[in-house]
Structure 1
Amino acid sequence: MSAPTPLHTLWLSEAIRLREEQAGPLEDLEANRRARQHGGDLAARIEHRALILADRDGQREALRHWLQGARLAILLLAVLAVFSGAGLAFAALGDGQQPVNVFWALGSLLGLNIILLLSWLLGLVAAGGHGAVLGRLWLWLSEKLARDAQAVHLAPALVLLLQRRRLNRWALGTLVHGLWLLALLSALAVLLLLLATRRYGFVWETTILGADTFISLTQTLGALPALLGFSVPDIDMIRASGDQATNVEGARQAWAGWLVGVLLVYGIGPRLLLAAFCQWRWRLGRARLTLDTTLPGYSQLRERLMPSSERLGVRDEAPDALPQVTTAPASEPSDGAVLVGLELDGQHPWPPTLASGIQDAGVLDSRESRQRLLEQMTRFPPARLVIACDPRRSPDRGSLGLIAELARCATVTRVWLLPAPPGQVLDPQRLGDWRTSLAALGLAIDESTPLYWLETGDE
């Protein structure tokens, strides 16, 4: 999986925090140890811990699914915007059988857009939440399309993360203005298509207003489009259109150019500028986004990530499957060879005779001995590691989890299944369970004596 972006790292950290607030602390001994080894300040260690836990528990994969769902949700909203824009153009011009009332057409094209645009500007000044409905719709669609149970904390985590820096207004602003821009561009394309393939006559009608009012309004709205080269009907054309739809070709073209210019200048232009502005503010704020380590969920981790000691114990439910063993890049060069026994009884003489250069790590039979060895191997990872196990015991979750942790601290690891003591016979079914479990971890199994390989690295 590719390296996460800084935003995704903060997002996953917030999701892990929410998960622990709701479900209780996770089993994080290995994650804490690797985060301490990673170094940095508290925020860097919290983020590194969150990435480890997210990889282990599937939340990072859930984030990938969520992002795929978010892109699909935006695509669906974009398709809806395109069809809505086309509908605005058809509603504005009609089928060409009746004259087009220019101000009804203008209202159909820009009325709702201008109302919502003013609403967004007022909400921006008043720190309101315009666009929240569309934002909630997008988040809901994204979560539904992700179809991943581990994604349940991702949407709330994103909302909380952005709200602290008020970035939600710029993210939603980019979405809202982008969709409106797409709708208006669709309306413009359909409008041009209809004007190019049908003959429309244009009129204006009123009962209580005079012709001078429409003349003034038409020329005022057409002033900016005229600077861009769009035609504006002259006074005689405007007065003539108040009586009936004129058949003069120049008048029809002037009204069509005026309508297109007004749509472009007062509809598409503001949405384009605001979408670019929101995108700029979003990028600027995202670059400055940091982790708030004063939150209770983060401040409680200081004791575990910054000092030299931590509490031990399993505090989370058993995972559905043990993680695949992958060796992370070590901060120190890998060197040497280590032999360690795992919960061996007195029937197995220990340690065996070892060549010089092989370190005997003893028998791990307590939490303190396990943690001490893991801390040492994290700082000084061995090149070769052999873990001796008694196959008369069942391969339980705790033993396999410890084997996986030890293996991640070494370059190459083998598991030595010890022979049965004299007079005893190994249970074939239990031995098969060991082989199956270790194969699932991706570890090599050695039922002979791997001490020569441990000494030389040769087969």
Structure 2
Amino acid sequence: MSAALPRWQALWLIGWERRREGEEPQPDPPEQLAHWRKEGADAEQRVLLRAQARLGERAGQLAPALRRARWALGAVCALIALAGGAGVFTLLGPGERPVNVIWTWLALLGPHLVMLALWLAGLSMGGGAPWSGRSLAALGQRIPGLVPDRAAIEALWDGLRQSGAGRWALSVLSHLLWLSALAGALLGLLLALSLRRYGFTWETTILPAAWFESLVMTLAWLPGLVGLPQPDAGLVAASGEGPVASDLARRSWSFWLVGGLVVYGILPRLVALIVCRWRLQRAVQRLQLPWQQPYYAVLQRRLAPRSTRLGVVDADSVGDSVEQWVMGGVGAGAAVIGLDVPADWPWPPVPGTSRDHGRCESREQRAAALQALTDQPAERLLVVVEAAQSPDRGTLRFIGELAGHCRALALLLAGPDRDRRRDLWRDAAGRRGLDGAVLFVDAEPAARWLSGGAS
């Protein structure tokens, strides 16, 4: 991948272009394909170069979009923290009436504990909900200028789900928002307790008093371990009759509320945030392009063809290196293609061929035929050539490229000189690494051979 981009952003770019194109990649100019093959060290880098070229200026919008998203997230966290602090002031009131400590504790921590329990239960349910990506896309589009377009954020979600990172990303976001609310509530609680005088009590009509006394002492155990002063059994019992008018009682109940918010609220969320952030990083490191999907399989064949140069096998009379070509490992159906076939030669030479790529005389026609075979390799490919022409390096190189997109290759010589020039073509093909190709001089045996790969 590009050294200038983190790996996950590079894969995001590729997924963005895949979303824009749809199920099948659009055709690319031959010169660009050659450039990407030369510049890309592997298939992933070549696909990235293609995505960057096709996206153009839009490829540079990801970094600004990420900055805007961070600022937006920071603003949302700040608003949630302010709301949490304001909610505490509303909950405690102006101090004219006693504060019910049990009701206040439940109001501060009840929703958080319920949602935390639901999140823990949801971990066993696999990846994120299928509507999460659509919801994020709709939310992003409602904020002008936040994301480049809908396809970009949907591509991000597709990539996160592919490695299981989606649920950890949503978990990090959820814990961060809850931490903002709890931190705001803590600051609001400390500010309210510092500026106002409250009396604390607990009340019940039908429940036994001993139950409340046990509940308060149980909840006070963990905060007491970290050194926060907590109400003793006598103060708890006395507060059931009404607020105890002493500074020690007020401080004890205040720290009971503060300790509960810190120990049962902020600390669990902080631990969960750290764990989810760690799991998210590990999942992002496992991100890979899904080569098994048809879109990426076509790109892999197009940008990393199976025909390859294995090295110098021998040298010819003009000093040019000889390439060894290998047949492709995948393909289906039978196909036929003509290279500079004589005008008087009947076409197609084999009637009923499932895929006819026609006569290729120009460079553009050859590139189009090669592109078609790249997108849909053949099981058997019959290449018709004029026997009278010389088996030059350019023609044999192109036939070698075709060999990478079929399981079996055959040459059919056309023209009156085909019997006399059979050995010349066979020797030239063998020297060029195409010795695995079958050579025909008559259309009838070529038709029988080709019918073995008919769809």
**What do residues 221-242 of structure 1 show as CA deviations (whole Å, max 9, x unaligned)?**
1101000011111111111111
**1:114 alignment partner AA:** L
Deviation, structure 1 residue 305: 0.8
SS at match of 2:149: helix
Does the CA contact (< 8 Å) of 1:73 and 1:145 recur in 2? no
CA spacing shift, 1:130–1:173, aligned 2, 3 Å: farther
Question: If the length of structure 1 is used for normalisation, what is the TM-score?
Answer: 0.63
CA spacing shift, 1:115–1:59, aligned 2, 3 Å: same
Deviation, structure 1 residue 41: 3.1
**1:40 alignment partner AA:** A
**1:170 alignment partner AA:** W
What is the correspondence of 1:138-217 to structure 2 with a 5 Å cutoff? Answer: 139-145=137-143, 147=145, 151-217=149-215
Identify which range, 62-71 or 191-200, moves more after superposition. 62-71
1:123 aligns with 2:141: no
Deviation, structure 1 residue 109: 0.7
Does the CA contact (< 8 Å) of 2:12 and 2:156 recur in 1? yes
Instruction: Give the structure 2 partner of residue 43 of structure 1.
Output: 44
CA spacing shift, 1:36–1:292, aligned 2, 3 Å: same
Does the CA contact (< 8 Å) of 2:112 and 2:265 recur in 1? yes
Deviation, structure 1 residue 139: 4.3
CA spacing shift, 1:137–1:92, aligned 2, 3 Å: farther
Deviation, structure 1 residue 26: 5.4
1:306 aligns with 2:299: no
1:223 aligns with 2:224: no
CA spacing shift, 1:300–1:173, aligned 2, 3 Å: same
Does the CA contact (< 8 Å) of 2:127 and 2:161 recur in 1? no
- Mapped partners of 2:117, 2:300: distance in 1: 46
CA spacing shift, 1:130–1:10, aligned 2, 3 Å: closer
**Which 4+ residue blocks in structure 1 deviate beyond 6 angstroms?**
130-133
CA spacing shift, 1:258–1:148, aligned 2, 3 Å: closer
CA spacing shift, 1:283–1:128, aligned 2, 3 Å: closer
Instruction: Give the structure 2 partner of residue 257 of structure 1.
Output: 255
Deviation, structure 1 residue 60: 0.9
CA spacing shift, 1:308–1:122, aligned 2, 3 Å: closer
1:113 aligns with 2:121: no
Instruction: Give the structure 2 partner of residue 348 of structure 1.
Output: none
CA spacing shift, 1:26–1:181, aligned 2, 3 Å: farther
Deviation, structure 1 residue 141: 4.0
Does the CA contact (< 8 Å) of 1:222 and 1:258 recur in 2? yes
CA spacing shift, 1:128–1:21, aligned 2, 3 Å: closer
**1:12 alignment partner AA:** L
1:241 aligns with 2:242: no
**What do residues 283-313 of structure 1 show as CA deviations (whole Å, max 9, x unaligned)?**
111122121111111101133212389xxxx
**What do residues 75-131 of structure 1 show as CA deviations (whole Å, max 9, x unaligned)?**
332123112211332233221111000011111111111111111111112226479
1:18 aligns with 2:16: no
SS at match of 1:232: coil
- Mapped partners of 1:79, 1:11: distance in 2: 28
- Mapped partners of 1:95, 1:137: distance in 2: 40
**1:59 alignment partner AA:** R
CA spacing shift, 1:163–1:128, aligned 2, 3 Å: closer
**2:217 alignment partner AA:** Q
**2:46 alignment partner AA:** R
- Mapped partners of 1:131, 1:209: distance in 2: 44
**1:4 alignment partner AA:** L
**1:304 alignment partner AA:** R
Instruction: Give the structure 1 partner of residue 275 of structure 2.
Output: 277
Identify which range, 181-190 or 74-83, moves more after superposition. 74-83
- Mapped partners of 1:28, 1:148: distance in 2: 33
What is the correspondence of 1:49-448 to structure 2 with a 5 Å cutoff? Answer: 49-54=50-55, 56=56, 58-127=57-126, 129=128, 139-145=137-143, 147=145, 151-307=149-305, 367-368=363-364
Instruction: Give the structure 2 partner of residue 320 of structure 1.
Output: none
Deviation, structure 1 residue 162: 0.8
CA spacing shift, 1:147–1:30, aligned 2, 3 Å: farther
Does the CA contact (< 8 Å) of 2:136 and 2:153 recur in 1? no
- Mapped partners of 1:131, 1:301: distance in 2: 27
CA spacing shift, 1:167–1:76, aligned 2, 3 Å: same
Instruction: Give the structure 2 partner of residue 421 of structure 1.
Output: none
Structure 2: gaps spanning 5 or more residues: 308-361, 368-455
- Mapped partners of 2:281, 2:225: distance in 1: 33
Does the CA contact (< 8 Å) of 1:188 and 1:263 recur in 2? yes
Structure 1: gaps spanning 5 or more residues: 310-365, 372-459
Deviation, structure 1 residue 21: 1.1
Does the CA contact (< 8 Å) of 1:14 and 1:161 recur in 2? yes
**1:113 alignment partner AA:** H
SS at match of 1:300: helix
CA spacing shift, 1:137–1:113, aligned 2, 3 Å: farther
- Mapped partners of 1:252, 1:132: distance in 2: 48
- Mapped partners of 2:246, 2:303: distance in 1: 81
Does the CA contact (< 8 Å) of 2:65 and 2:148 recur in 1? no
CA spacing shift, 1:126–1:370, aligned 2, 3 Å: closer
SS at match of 1:301: helix
Deviation, structure 1 residue 61: 2.6
**1:102 alignment partner AA:** V
Q: Report the RMSD for the aligned CA atoms in angstroms.
A: 2.8
Does the CA contact (< 8 Å) of 1:85 and 1:184 recur in 2? yes
Does the CA contact (< 8 Å) of 1:202 and 1:246 recur in 2? yes
**What do residues 371-426 of structure 1 show as CA deviations (whole Å, max 9, x unaligned)?**
8xxxxxxxxxxxxxxxxxxxxxxxxxxxxxxxxxxxxxxxxxxxxxxxxxxxxxxx
Does the CA contact (< 8 Å) of 1:203 and 1:241 recur in 2? yes
| Identical positions, percent | 39
**What do residues 308-332 of structure 1 show as CA deviations (whole Å, max 9, x unaligned)?**
89xxxxxxxxxxxxxxxxxxxxxxx
CA spacing shift, 1:53–1:226, aligned 2, 3 Å: same
Instruction: Give the structure 2 partner of residue 449 of structure 1.
Output: none
Question: If the length of structure 2 is used for normalisation, what is the TM-score?
Answer: 0.63
Does the CA contact (< 8 Å) of 1:215 and 1:238 recur in 2? yes
- Mapped partners of 1:40, 1:304: distance in 2: 15
**2:92 alignment partner AA:** L
- Mapped partners of 1:76, 1:31: distance in 2: 43
